[in-house]
Structure 1
Amino acid sequence: MPPLKISAFTATSAVGVGKTALADALAQSRSGLRANDFGASPLPTWIGRVDGLEELRLPEELAAWDCRNNRLAWLGLQADGFMEAVAAARKRYGPTRIALILGTSTSSIGETELAYTQLADGAFPADQQRPKVHTPHSLSLFVQQALGLEGPSETISTACSSSAKVFASAERLIRLGLVDAAVVGGVDTLCGSVLFGFNSLELVSPEPCRPFDATRNGISLGEAAGFALLERGRGPLELLGYGEASDAHHMSTPHPEGLGAEKALDDALARAGLAAAAIDYINMHGTASTKNDEVEGALVARRFPDTTHASSTKGFTGHTLGAAGIVEAVISLLAIETGLKPGNVNTTTLDAECGPQIKLRPARGEVRHALSNSFGFGGNNCSLVFGKGAAE
């Protein structure tokens, strides 16, 4: 596949706003997780919460979109000069020639939950009768208006792979000549449906999550926003390949041999024209659930050299659900840009079944190619390969 230039990117999570805060946390092995303080009756767990969303106010022209998810999107869009980069692209190509493709698993459902607590005679109160907010497409509609874009707009909701798959969709739209550039990304925020839903599946840990630890006991949920601008051509940072697969093994449990995950990995490497040994850093899905880490760890162990540096970064941010793919893509791009390969924060004793590629501590060195895995519920899997291109 012809590479696509990644001309701007950013992420906001529990460790802070923008790339600098994220890179600092990764370098210092500093987790953003904290004891759960979300909601009226907080579950006894740890979360990756973004500070300041309660006080944040959208600009007057965007106030009709107000909800926690769109506030986080707005906060994330303002970091790292991202809005300015999109404005420049809009001037180059025109607003109809830039696609917007965003991933989310819950969108604005937190606001809808609130509206249901305010029912009067079976109806939402007047200030909650906002159909554009109470829809899974709310995020994309909001960001499209905020960025002044008029091209194709998609919302992808495939659980944890949502904002990884946005890169694949963008590549197809650009390759087919339907657009000249694409804004991709994802946003998900904490809400009752997420916290209590995952708790009902017995997947939530009462402690900070420990990916690939021998005594791991579940996930820590988080919230995040991330975005990237993709354009035709070559650049210092490039999307080289992607792979997608749905094994449909189970609603919430991965295929025991990682069938779909390996298919996605194979396709990503094939599109990039690379062998597994060419990958210098792997950002693993690594949720800290028993089965996910076992299956993914075995896959990486059998496919990559022992010297490959792999880690899960969910101990830093929590599992940000539909935003996990874009946040971890940003971490992979930072690894290429800075040479920083993160470790596994919170993890103390690696599970011997998971392979020697997984590293506890961060390391530095040239990263020419990075792989990012995102494996969602229902066996919906996506792998992305990013690479270092020529300096501009």
Structure 2
Amino acid sequence: MQSRSLRITAYTLCSAAGDGTAATLAALRERRSGLSKNDFGPAPIETWIGRVAGLEQQPLPAEFANWDCRNNRLAWRGLATDGFIEAAHEARARYGADRVAVVMGTSTSSIGASEEAYARLDPDGRYPADLRRPIIHTPHSLGDFVQHALGLTGISVTVATACSSSAKVFAQAERLIRTGLADAAIVGGVDSLCGSVLFGFNSLELVSAEQCRPFDVERRGINLGEAAGFALLEKQAPRGAWLLGYGESNDAHHMSTPHPEGLGARLALNDALKRADLRPEDIDYINLHGTASQKNDEVEAKIVADLFPTTTCASSTKGWTGHTLGAAGIVEAAISLIALEHELLPGTLNLRVPDLACGPQIQRDNVQRKARHALSFSFGFGGSNCVLVFGRDR
């Protein structure tokens, strides 16, 4: 259970709620959702989405043209906010290009480019010439792009565990640094909208035709979104929030439904608190997975009601961003860091009548209050669970 607390010396996010931490904070304060009616693709299904505007008109810089696709454009947009590229370059100068690991989470990588290639096969049945770039058709496209974009040459890992992907990158990075394989790590996650995701979730009858309503008694399902987020982790730094702990588990219960008692989620939560040497009463804020699907919210609400005191504030922020799949972990980790830094604990957009499983911890309205410790929950398809613990100095 031993782990090393790491400083988060830089972080950023880009989602439908805004580009960067300042824009995201403003959206949270103003209770302004980034969701809009679905207009993605030639035959949009009836739902709402968290779309990042302008990606179609923003190709990658010429030196990265080989990686150009929607997912990597979104990654570049995220890297370019909050001075993150500069922070990464400073870390490269401090430690060396081969000592800064890159650990990226994604669930679909650049599959949208592969969809387009199959839709535009040439008369010989081959990909069109402009899409004959193998790197954009692999699960490691994102990690390869980020490593090259930042000029790094060390370990580069892709984590693909559905919706927990970019939460588990923090755990992977901590292990790499603790065992001496890296001195610092760039962690993050990116997932972009594509037909496979939208139609796939629709076929599972998990997509809502209205704006998602996490933990509401009349919730109808999820709204999908796209996002990018990144964080820089260092073991010796004078400033920044702390990654205090993490917990990981696997339900192995069902491909798309959580364990009915939340067994795996509870195991991940317990391990995270043990690593951080904290108790439930020490937690000020929890950013819940809160997808607005029937079973996830029911199970998650019960865990919180059973284990945490009434003074803990908990919420889902997917009403601002949509469910960003493999990017959800990093986006919601970043929102947890915003909550700690700015003493704003977000409520839950669109929550009107809480489900009976909800305790008083789950908030509808924002709470302006100092917070020292926060948790971020990420629970993926197939029962892949991760809980992260963040803290700030007194």
Unpaired runs of at least 5, structure 2: none
Question: Structure 2 matches for 1:1-392, cutoff 5 A?
Answer: 1-120=3-122, 121-233=124-236, 235-389=239-393
CA distance in structure 2 between the partners assigned to 1:221 and 1:37 by the alignment? 12
Q: SS of 1:378's equivalent? A: helix
CA distance in structure 2 between the partners assigned to 1:260 and 1:282 by the alignment? 17
| Equivalent residue letter for 2:311 | T
Instruction: Check the 8 A contact 2:33/2:320 in 1, yes or no.
Output: yes
CA distance in structure 2 between the partners assigned to 1:2 and 1:108 by the alignment? 33
Shift of 1:306: 1.2
Q: SS of 2:136's equivalent? A: coil
Instruction: Check the 8 A contact 1:281/1:371 in 2, yes or no.
Output: yes
Post-superposition Cα deviations, 1:103-141, rounded to whole Å, max 9, x if no partner, equal 000010000000001112221122211111100100010
Shift of 1:233: 2.9
Instruction: Check the 8 A contact 1:112/1:134 in 2, yes or no.
Output: yes
CA distance in structure 2 between the partners assigned to 1:73 and 1:2 by the alignment? 28
| Equivalent residue letter for 2:267 | K
Shift of 1:200: 0.3
Post-superposition Cα deviations, 1:336-392, rounded to whole Å, max 9, x if no partner, equal 1110100001111111212111000001111100000000000000000000026xx
Instruction: Check the 8 A contact 2:4/2:174 in 1, yes or no.
Output: no
CA distance in structure 2 between the partners assigned to 1:319 and 1:67 by the alignment? 21
Q: SS of 2:53's equivalent? A: coil
Shift of 1:27: 1.1
Q: SS of 1:87's equivalent? A: helix
| Equivalent residue letter for 1:216 | R
Q: SS of 2:45's equivalent? A: coil
- TM-score normalised according to structure 1 size: 0.98
CA distance in structure 1 between the partners assigned to 2:345 and 2:154 by the alignment? 36
Instruction: Check the 8 A contact 2:284/2:372 in 1, yes or no.
Output: yes
Q: SS of 2:104's equivalent? A: strand
CA distance in structure 2 between the partners assigned to 1:107 and 1:2 by the alignment? 30
Shift of 1:102: 0.5
Instruction: Check the 8 A contact 1:106/1:188 in 2, yes or no.
Output: yes
CA distance in structure 1 between the partners assigned to 2:108 and 2:331 by the alignment? 16
Q: SS of 1:96's equivalent? A: coil
Instruction: Check the 8 A contact 2:10/2:240 in 1, yes or no.
Output: no
Instruction: Check the 8 A contact 2:100/2:184 in 1, yes or no.
Output: yes
Shift of 1:159: 0.4
How high is the sequence identity, in percent, across the aligned residues?
Answer: 66
Post-superposition Cα deviations, 1:304-357, rounded to whole Å, max 9, x if no partner, equal 001210000001000000000000000001111110100001111111212111
Shift of 1:248: 0.8
Post-superposition Cα deviations, 1:180-218, rounded to whole Å, max 9, x if no partner, equal 000000000000000000000000000000000010010
Instruction: Check the 8 A contact 1:220/1:319 in 2, yes or no.
Output: yes
Q: SS of 2:56's equivalent? A: coil
CA distance in structure 1 between the partners assigned to 2:129 and 2:42 by the alignment? 24
CA distance in structure 1 between the partners assigned to 2:84 and 2:128 by the alignment? 36
Instruction: Check the 8 A contact 1:306/1:357 in 2, yes or no.
Output: yes
Unpaired runs of at least 5, structure 1: none
Post-superposition Cα deviations, 1:11-51, rounded to whole Å, max 9, x if no partner, equal 00001100011111111111100000100000000000001
Instruction: Check the 8 A contact 1:3/1:233 in 2, yes or no.
Output: no
Coordinate RMSD, CA, aligned = 0.8
Shift of 1:58: 1.1
| Equivalent residue letter for 1:339 | E
Shift of 1:2: 2.7
Q: SS of 1:95's equivalent? A: coil
Q: Structure 1 segments of 4 or more deviating over 3 A?
A: none
| Equivalent residue letter for 1:177 | G
